[in-house]
Amino acid sequence: MPEGEIFIEKRRHKRVVKKLKVFYRVLSKDELDEAVNEKKVVESSDISISGIQLICDEKLSLEQVIRLDIIIEENKEPLTTFAEVRWIKFDESIKKFRAGMEFLVVKEEHINIIKNLTGEY
């Protein structure tokens, strides 16, 4: 950071580094288009109550709506939610894309699970 520049944290919730297996599916206007809606497996980089960062092979588009099935070992069922792509950038060090996702729908029980992961209790 350049000298004299002030950094202001914009995040509303604590974000923790957490590698989780995530299945995602890009939603399209035509839900019958199997090629667009194919489920893919990626890994997360970090997570908070408001979003998750994914490490992907493909470049997602800003504002795309994605269905996520987040695998959390302690739970029987995946945490299923919808998120919007808020930012995307290519990470040269790992030769993959990093995508910042903002959760659109989060059930109360999912919030509690994420709080447990992030230590926000």
Domains of the chain: residue spans and CATH: 16-118 (2.40.10.220)
- Sorted by sequence, the CB contacts under 8 Å of residue 115 that are 6+ apart come out as 49, 121
C-alpha neighbours within 13 Å on the C-beta side of residue 92: 0
> CA 3, CA 67: separation in Å to the nearest integer?
41
DSSP reduced 3-state for 67: strand
User: What backbone phi and psi angles, to 5 degrees, belong to 118?
Assistant: -90, -10
- pLDDT reading at 95 higher than 70: yes
Mean pLDDT of 100-114: 92
Give pLDDT, residue 29: 63
Its pTM stands at 0.81
Give pLDDT, residue 7: 37
> CA 37, CA 12: separation in Å to the nearest integer?
31
- pLDDT reading at 11 higher than 90: no
% of the chain with per-residue pLDDT over 70: 81
Tokens, residue 55: 């490490």
